[in-house]
Amino acid sequence: MNGLIFQDIHALAAGLRRKDFSALELVRAHIDRIRSCEDTISALITRTEELALSRAAAADARLAGGDAPLLCGIPFVLKDNICTEGIPTTCASRMLADYIPPYSATVYARLQAAGAVLLGKGNMDEFSMGSSTENSAFYPTRNPLDISRVPGGSSGGPAAAVAAYEVPFALGSDTGGSIRQPAAFCGLVGMKPTYGTVSRHGLVAFASSLDQIGPLTRTVQDNAAVLSCISAPDGRDATANRTFAAAKDLFSGDIRGISVGLLRFPGDAADPAIRAAVESVAAVLADRGAQVREVRLPALSDALPAYYILSSAEASANLARYDGVRYGARAEGAASPDELFCSTRSTYFGPEVRRRILLGTYALSAGHRDAFYLRAQSAARRIRAAFAEIFATCDCLLCPTTPTVAFPAGEKSDPVSMYRGDLFTVPASLAGIPALSLPCGTADGLPVAAQLMAAEGNDGLLYRLAAAIEEVRI
Amino acid sequence: MAPFDIDSIAGLARLTVSDGEKAALAEDMAAILAFAATLPEADPYTEEAALPLSALREDEAADSDPAPLLCAAPKLREDAFTVPSGGISL
Amino acid sequence: MNFETVIGLEIHAELATKSKIFCSCRTDFGAPRNSQVCPVCLGHPGTLPRLNRKVVEYAAMAGLATGCRIAEFSRMDRKNYFYPDLPKAYQISQDAHPLCLDGGLTIDTEDGEKFVRVERIHIEEDAGKLIHAQGETLADYNRCGVPLIEVVTAPDMRSAAEARAFVSELRTTLRYLGVSDCRMQEGSLRCDVNISVRPAGSAKLGERTEIKNLNSFQFIEKAIEYESRRQADILTAGGTVRRETRRFDEQTGTTHTLREKETAADYRFFPEPDIPPLRLTPADIEALAARLPELPAARRKRYAALGFPPADVHILTEDRALSDYFDRALAAGQHPKITANLLLSEYLRLSEGESFVCPVAPERLAAVADLAGEGTVNASTAKKLAARLWEGDFDPAETVRREGLGQICDEAALLEGIRAVFCENAALISQIRAGKAAAVKALVGKCMGRFGGRAEPRLLNRLVEEELKK
């Protein structure tokens, strides 16, 4: 049964239907894998073995009846900022170390309804603030491809879990690159859908106008299948206003006539190996009939500062609710509510969280709002407009996902250098457009990736192109 | 650019910052803010995609189970959440 | 030195929706603590607000009824501050783009009518309730998320009476719309007063203070009177009024500083990212306007034109249910004054509860009023008929015919009866001859009694008088 863990979702689904193995055997194989890996990589905060076994049994019954959804019996991991009723959801923070949600996120409900089997909650940077999972209040996660290096962040745990074959897919969340960057560092397909495609009901908010949930998988086809499952109209999220449904011919491999803009960033900030990988992807696309040309978007030079101001501003408001009164940690010995709030928040929030809250509070405060928050908003609007304009003449954009390969644990100590690593991913977040990171080779044994972006709602195009590229690589 | 007044911002955010942290924080914040201060001036506000009246929720009441919500309380007293009384005038 | 008081009001009214503004929890008053709560209104991680359509509709109707312009685009904003009754540590409100703008209401003042401007009306969520209990403060979040409109006036009022008149008119109007029950004692209508004084004739506004959460007309007036005197005293003594928030002490009738910090709170408003901006089309607004009933001011004009005195006009229009009933009765009959008299004297006191409820079809009341107006029955009989209708339905004209309740106008018949009464009441007659005027009334009463109360009163009086002269 060892080989099971290396198969992707589609292969496993076929095997289940051929009765090569049962869901129970499948889930047991993954539980064993988790048991053997976790001491090394620490991808998970909570494991749900018992629950998984009972869900697996239920999946087997459903499969026996015929007509079970694709994901029935397939194990997965959820980033620990996605609420799971009755199962701890900590956001890798001491503030929520004992928090057990009284309700489930829409995405979790949809996966359960499809019969998928939750095996655990993935480690992350505390409250999604970070790019390495080193900001987890509990422990860092290691990159399974090189355990001296980070898996990326903030969805480092889910990415590592998939990369280590603990599960064939995971859900992460992406605010400024938190799915795509770990996907790039761990050699996975990571997708941030168009903003509004996946309900945020049950996703613990970091920056509400930027956050999106998306899949981490080993293949493009798996990724599209998971996105189809979790994307649906949801009355509980007023911003979830579109659905992704995979078109039938999405994986035909036909990409002739699609125009691709090879996006040059000012300063050419990526490592040579990554630049070379992106060039070779461009070549593959051209080879297969796409029209590739170079493009530049000057407005993108404002993207990083705009992102950090806007996301911190929204985060400062979203995290104000953690005050020790209704749930979560509570400091002792306070004599007044303000003392309780200060004490609780200062004790149970980690340093990066406190830093971003202070930054966000400052950006919104009287006298500074114009200089920071309003300017950042304006910059974001200009970036959105710039993308809309380019997509009028070009179907898709291609660029790196990250400037470097996975860096060594403990290397990045100052916040600004950490922030600069998000250079390639934040523009798509600010614009709300879909962006996918696709592995395209290695450099010194470490994965390198390219990023594809398309216009709002054109998520399918990214899968189409990515599948064509993936074919060649295999 | 105005200096970063950590104490007043921390007060607004209900965070306490130890003296030891202040220096490092001030430096970090200054670097981040310098980095952010490069943004050009704001354009006037324009309308984005809006919700029509029909997209809003129907006015229907539903019962919910308060028990798990009260259980989640760090400090409960009978059926109420509690905070210390200092400084509150009702 | 003569001082002028300048007053502006910020009034919060709870909207009478079944569910809260952003979640489906009930909004019932007086429910057990923390029984009408859910993860959304408690601000649990990962929860999102879902705006209740009825809240927007009711708020827009309130705007239309106060002559406001309804914004085609409006937007929710986050108002950020920490307080134990506010679970998310921000209130979802409207700052830059409120739903309603630039309206007003006309009030009656000593010097005639006055128009008080409403600068804006916006929608927002209410906070929970805090209760002191032995060294701790308890938080009950039932009220958290109940929908509110905030009505902000211009500083157009100049006295406690004017402020009271405005709040009263607003309250009546909102109750007419059915958008809020405005029960001040339950807290569904709360008033904050912004008040400053300045030398009479000065154009510049003085420094103002805010008095928060006044929940009765009496307290509004008392607080204004106290505060304007307090400020005038300070200025007279050469001091300056400090801008601050104050609380009214009901026991002593005085105001005290509530917030020690003089600097205004920094709410760090920014657009609510979880709720897209709202768009109301002209068609939406027209549809809402069509739902408005005839408003109190218009009805008052109409009743005044019918000749009713101000006191009656006030009573008839105070409660929409009563006014609606009256209008239906008016439409069904020919005698407005009699209809009003019967309604106010007989039915108002029988109706229990806050709003007028009457088992009698208005057409029946109109029929009784017509019978009286035509002279078929006298006033006393009409009253009795009206009262009987409350107990059970019948056709008044039918019953009058069947039971012979018609007014007696036959002089001969009346005289016969009168003379008989005179014979039986010799003692009373001598009292009258002795000059005791009150005895006349008693005599007339006995005569009326002889006719079962059905004698035509004026005729009876005349005949009795004539007989007494003999």
- Best mutation target among A195, A359, A377, A426 (most B Cβ atoms within 10 Å) is A359
Interchain pair B82, C137: CB under 8 A: yes
Which B residues, 62 through 81, put their C-beta within 8 Å of a C-beta on chain A? 68-69, 72-75, 81
What are A398's strand-pairing partners? A262, A452
- Best mutation target among B85, B88, B89, B90 (most C Cβ atoms within 10 Å) is B85
B-C C-beta contacts closer than 8 Å = 123
The pLDDT, as a whole number, for residue A404 is 94
Start-end ranges of CATH 1.10.10.410 in chain C? Answer: 411-469
The pLDDT, as a whole number, for residue C260 is 57
Alpha-carbon distances of C359 from C111, C319, C384, rounded to whole Å: 41, 17, 16
Which chain A residues touch B41 with a CB distance below 8 Å? 375, 378
ipTM of the complex: 0.95
Q: Is B20 on the interface with A (CB under 8 A)?
A: no
Interchain pair C137, B14: CB under 8 A: no
**Position with higher pLDDT, A259 vs C405:** A259
Which chain C residues touch B48 with a CB distance below 8 Å? 276-277
Q: How far apart are CA A51 and CA C15, in angstroms?
A: 44
Model confidence at B2: pLDDT above 50: no
- pLDDT bracket for residue B23 (50, 70, 90): confident
The pLDDT, as a whole number, for residue C286 is 97
Q: How far apart are CA A61 and CA C365, in angstroms?
A: 72
Residue A238 Cα, gap to closest chain C Cα (Å): 6
The mean per-residue pLDDT over the stretch A45-71 comes to 96
Interchain pair B2, A302: CB under 8 A: no
Catalytic residue among A128, A178, A312, A429: A178
The pLDDT, as a whole number, for residue C263 is 54
Chains with ≥3 CB–CB distances under 8 Å to B: A, C
Interchain pair B82, C42: CB under 8 A: no
Interchain pair A326, C44: CB under 8 A: yes
Residue B19 Cα, gap to closest chain C Cα (Å): 24
To the query of whether residue A154 is one of the catalytic residues in this protein, the response is yes
Interchain pair A375, B84: CB under 8 A: no
**What are the residue boundaries of the structural domains of chain A, listed by start?**
1-474
Could you tell me which residues come within 8 angstroms of residue C242 by beta carbon, excluding any fewer than 6 positions away?
A: C207, C209, C262
Chains with ≥3 CB–CB distances under 8 Å to A: B, C
Q: Is B88 on the interface with A (CB under 8 A)?
A: yes
A73-117 per-position pLDDT tens digit: 999 999 999 999 999 999 999 999 999 999 999 999 999 999 999
Which residue in B6, B31, B68 is closest to A416 by CB distance?
B31
Q: How far apart are CA C162 and CA C114, in angstroms?
A: 9
The CATH architecture assigned to A1-474 reads Alpha-Beta Complex (3.90)
Which residue in C25, C139, C268 is closest to B80 by CB distance?
C139
Answer positive or negative: Cα dihedral of A363, A369, A371, A376. Answer: positive
Q: Is B81 on the interface with C (CB under 8 A)?
A: yes
Which chain A residues touch B21 with a CB distance below 8 Å? 351
Model confidence at B21: pLDDT above 60: yes
Residue A335 Cα, gap to closest chain C Cα (Å): 9
Amino acid at C346: E
Alpha-carbon distances of C232 from A145, A161, C2, C201, C214, rounded to whole Å: 78, 72, 9, 15, 21
Structure tokens at C308: 């009713």
Which chain A residues touch C142 with a CB distance below 8 Å? none
Residue B22 Cα, gap to closest chain A Cα (Å): 11
- What CATH number should be reported for the domain whose range is C411-469? 1.10.10.410
Catalytic residue among A154, A173, A199, A316: A154
Which of A137-151, A267-281, A375-389 has the highest average model confidence (pLDDT)?
A137-151
Q: How far apart are CA C82 and CA C267, in angstroms?
A: 10
Which C residues, 344 through 363, put their C-beta within 8 Å of a C-beta on chain B? none
A394-431 per-position pLDDT tens digit: 999 999 999 999 999 998 777 777 888 999 999 999 99
Interchain pair C84, A89: CB under 8 A: no
Q: How far apart are CA C291 and CA C177, in angstroms?
A: 9
Answer positive or negative: Cα dihedral of C232, C238, C244, C247. Answer: negative
To the query of whether residue A79 is one of the catalytic residues in this protein, the response is yes
Spell out the per-residue pLDDT of chain C, length 470, in tens.
789 999 999 999 999 999 999 999 999 999 999 999 999 999 999 999 999 999 999 999 999 999 999 999 999 999 999 999 999 999 999 999 999 999 999 999 988 999 999 999 999 999 999 999 888 899 999 999 999 999 999 999 999 999 999 999 999 999 999 999 999 999 999 999 999 999 998 889 999 999 998 999 999 999 999 999 999 999 999 999 998 899 999 999 999 987 655 456 899 999 999 999 999 999 999 999 999 999 999 999 999 999 999 999 999 999 999 999 999 999 999 999 999 999 999 999 999 888 999 999 999 999 999 999 998 998 889 999 999 999 999 999 999 989 888 888 888 888 888 888 888 888 888 888 888 888 888 888 888 888 888 888 888 889 888 888 87
**Position with higher pLDDT, C381 vs A436:** A436
Output the average pLDDT for chain A. Answer: 95
Which residue in B12, B61, B88 is closest to C266 by CB distance?
B12
Q: Note whether C43 and C17 are within 8 A (CB).
A: no
The pLDDT, as a whole number, for residue C231 is 95
Output the average pLDDT for chain B. Answer: 83
Interchain pair B41, A320: CB under 8 A: no
Which chain A residues touch B28 with a CB distance below 8 Å? 355, 414-416
Query: How far is CA C460 from its chain centroid?
Result: 43
| SS3 readout for chain C | CCEEEEEEEEEEEECCCCECCCCCCECCCCCCCCCCCCCCCCCCCCCCCCCEHHHHHHHHHHHHHCCCEECCEECCEEEECCCCCCCCCEEEECCCCCCEEEEEEEEEECCEEEEEEEEEEEEEECCCEEEEECCEEEEECCCCCCEEEEEEECCCECCHHHHHHHHHHHHHHHHHHCCCCCCHHHCCEEEEEEEEEEECCCCCCCCCEEEEEECCHHHHHHHHHHHHHHHHHHHHCCCCCCCCEEEEECCCCEEEECCCCCCCCCCCCEECCCCCCEECCHHHHHHHHHCCCCCHHHHHHHHHHCCCCHHHHHHHHHCHHHHHHHHHHHHHCCCHHHHHHHHHHHHCCCCCCCCCCCCCCHHHHHHHHHHHHCCCCCHHHHHHHHHHHHHCCCCHHHHHHHHCCCCECCHHHHHHHHHHHHHHCHHHHHHHHCCCCHHHHHHHHHHHHHCCCCECHHHHHHHHHHHHHC
The pLDDT, as a whole number, for residue A342 is 96
The pLDDT, as a whole number, for residue C305 is 95
Q: Is B76 on the interface with C (CB under 8 A)?
A: no
Structure tokens at A436: 């996918």
Phi, psi of A53 (to 5 degrees): -65, -40
Which B residues, 34 through 53, put their C-beta within 8 Å of a C-beta on chain A? 35-43, 46, 49, 51
- Per the listing, tokens 């958008």 go with C179
A-B C-beta contacts closer than 8 Å = 145
Which residue in C18, C33, C42 is closest to B79 by CB distance?
C33
Instruction: Say how many C-beta atoms besides its own lie within 10 A of residue C352's C-beta.
Output: 8
Which chain A residues touch B9 with a CB distance below 8 Å? 358, 361-362, 365
Model confidence at B45: pLDDT above 70: no
To the query of whether residue A36 is one of the catalytic residues in this protein, the response is no
DSSP 8-class letter at A304 = H
Amino acid at A198: V
The pLDDT, as a whole number, for residue B49 is 76
